[in-house]
Amino acid sequence: MKKVLSNQDRGYLLTEQTNPSSQNLDQLSALEIVELFNREDAKAVEAVGKQKNEIAAAIDLIAQAIASGGRLVYIGAGTSGRLGVLDAAECPPTFCSDPELIQGILAGGMDAMVRSSEALEDREADGAKAIADKNINNLDVVFGITAGGTTPYVHGALKEARQRGAKTVFFCCVPPEQFPMQYDIEIRPLVGAEILAGSTRLKAGTATKLVLNTISTGVMVKLGKVYGNRMIDVSVTNTKLEDRAIRIISDLTSLSREEAAELLEKSGNKVKLALLMQWQQVSVETATQMLQETQGHLGKLIHKK
């Protein structure tokens, strides 16, 4: 049976328009292509900067939700969903966070990470079911990601999340007048038309990665996973991360590398505990108790008056 396609014209969307700067893309040299991409990518960074207030609001909202026992759940289809899954997956090794705290849902599941499943984005009911399957509740934040703003799968998920009392964050790269929605926070970096018309894995994807990086890192800073600019909750699971942990301890305490490695071992491979043990000259048990009193915020212990 022949598939019946929607007659909806999305050509009005900013993400679907043609870019006058790349009209002769197929005639450019390799160097000219690189230079063009570099100029256009700079627009993505600028567009994200114009959304700084909305991004900051999302950081505060999500940090408060997680501190209160909630979760952050990214949801999307295609490139947008893959970037959400990627950001969620990178948090546990970077911040030693519980994998349940920040999760990514991709239309089509994990198979869609490496195989195209873009047709699944049209199923609004599937998005709602994905939220129901996660038992989303009023403590959680659901973060919908869609470059062009129209993805039914994402809106089905966000609608279901709102019905369950969850807070909602919506990301897209089109202005409100092109696709108006009303969620708790909307982040709309207007990156402009893509070099390759409609290929939102380019500037829109870059803006998505920038925003998600900023939000997840900002949330972890708020939750006490960072001291200064060091990842003091790094998960010591391989030689590279062990080296990083030892260097952090050595740099911040002036201990030798050998002494830092010994302290790390005594702390149970927990950099935050090791630092507190050294600075306060306390046992691992006492350091653990001290951190519990500040919900894991090392800075609050060290900088308190």
> Is 121 considered catalytic here?
yes
Mark whether 90 is an active-site residue: yes
Q: So what's the pLDDT on residue 4?
A: 39
Catalytic pick among 90, 242, 259, 262? 90
The per-residue pLDDT string of the chain (305 residues; one tens digit each, 9 = 90 and over) reads 334 345 576 777 888 888 999 999 999 999 999 999 999 999 999 999 999 999 999 999 999 999 999 999 999 999 999 999 999 999 998 898 999 999 999 998 888 887 776 667 778 999 999 999 999 999 999 999 999 988 999 999 999 999 999 999 999 999 999 888 889 999 999 999 999 998 899 999 999 999 999 999 999 999 999 999 998 888 888 999 999 999 999 999 989 999 999 999 999 999 999 999 999 999 999 999 999 999 889 988 887 64
pLDDT at 129: 96
Beta bridge partners, 171, equal 145, 187
Domains identified in the chain and CATH numbers: 30-222 (3.40.50.10490), 239-303 (1.10.8.1080)
From the list 121, 160, 186, 194, the catalytic residue is: 121
Is pTM beyond 0.85 here?
Answer: yes
